[in-house]
């Protein structure tokens, strides 16, 4: 398919060819759901911790005799049924991370890119860089593409000056073409894809990348 390339002023310049295997697929909602949940699980710290009755500091002595008081039997003051006692089956530090098949992750990312094209929320922009590294210069550029809303810029490489300029814009995030995140990409209301990054995505996620022995096919997602 052909898509229009816009200048940094928001004007139409030319068209670029996008691979239908990357930007024209039917949306696979299940793959997107699994990819997003996988990313959220991998970000969990898993540091929540509670103390059971064996870890509570206190006496092990029986608070009162077993019989004759009319009260419920008590073994010690650290019982979970008493205020200040231990917690039953409380959380302990654990690792929530897990992996999903690479093909499933690739399918999810291609489905999201296809979804953004179908909903017309993805725009291809000519390559640019913020030489000054100033936020106001990047904000002025983004103003040509609509009001401030949750925006994702897909870069052709790791551009520190652009990232520095956007560090103070809370609704803006950056992704590299070979390090896409399903969560950020899916929830971005506007996606700005640099022209070179679009060509790189064609090669990185296209049918050529899946051939055995190809460098793109062996690259990390």
Domain residue spans in the chain?
A: 2-28+101-218
- How confident is the model at residue 10, as a pLDDT? 85
* 156-186: burial string, b at 16+ Cβ within 10 Å, e else: beebeebbebbeeeeebbbbebbebbbbbbb
Distance CA(109)–CA(181), nearest Å, equals: 8
Secondary structure in 3-state letters for the chain: CEEEEECCCCCEEEEEECCHHHHCCCCCHHHHHHHHHHHHHHHCCCCCCCCCCCCCCCCCCCCCCCCCCCCCCCCCCCCCCCCCCCCCCCCCCCCCCCCCCHHHHHHHHHHHHHHHHHCCCEEEECCCCCCCCCHHHHHHHHHHHCCCCCEEEEECCCCHHHHHHHCCCCCEEEEECCECCHHHHHHCCEEEEEHHHHHHHHHHHCHHHHCCCCHHHHCCC
Q: Phi and psi of 68, rounded to 5°?
A: 95, -5
CATH superfamily, region 2-28+101-218: Ribosomal protein L4/L1 (3.40.1370.10)
The reported pTM is 0.81
- How confident is the model at residue 221, as a pLDDT? 52
- How confident is the model at residue 220, as a pLDDT? 46
- How confident is the model at residue 59, as a pLDDT? 87
Q: Return per-residue pLDDT of the chain as tens, 221 residues.
A: 888 899 988 888 888 899 999 999 999 999 999 999 999 999 999 999 999 999 999 888 898 999 999 998 888 889 898 888 999 999 999 999 999 999 999 999 999 999 999 999 999 999 998 988 899 999 999 998 888 889 999 998 888 899 999 999 999 999 999 899 999 999 999 999 999 999 999 998 876 555 445 444 444 45
């Amino acid at each position: 398919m052909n898509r229009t390339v816009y200048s940094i002023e928001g004007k139409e310049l030319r068209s670029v060819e996008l691979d239908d295997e990357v930007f024209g697929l039917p949306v696979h909602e299940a793959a997107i759901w699994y990819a997003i949940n996988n990313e959220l699980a991998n970000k969990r710290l898993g540091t929540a911790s509670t103390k059971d009755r064996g870890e509570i500091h206190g006496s092990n002595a029986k608070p009162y005799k077993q019989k004759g008081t009319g009260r419920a039997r008590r073994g010690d003051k650290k019982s979970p049924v008493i205020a200040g006692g231990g917690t039953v089956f409380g959380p302990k530090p654990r690792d929530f991370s897990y992996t999903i098949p690479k093909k499933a992750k690739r399918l999810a990312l291609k489905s999201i890119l296809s979804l953004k094209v179908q909903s017309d929320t993805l725009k291809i922009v000519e390559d640019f860089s913020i030489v000054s590294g100033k936020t106001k210069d990047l904000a002025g550029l983004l103003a040509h593409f609509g009001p401030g809303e949750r925006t994702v810029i897909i870069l052709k490489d790791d551009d520190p000056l652009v990232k520095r300029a956007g560090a103070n814009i809370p609704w803006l995030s950056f992704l590299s073409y070979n390090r896409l995140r399903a969560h950020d990409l899916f929830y971005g209301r506007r996606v700005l894809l640099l022209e070179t990054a679009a060509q790189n995505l064609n090669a990185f996620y296209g049918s050529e990348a899946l051939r055995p022995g190809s460098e793109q096919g062996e690259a990390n997602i």
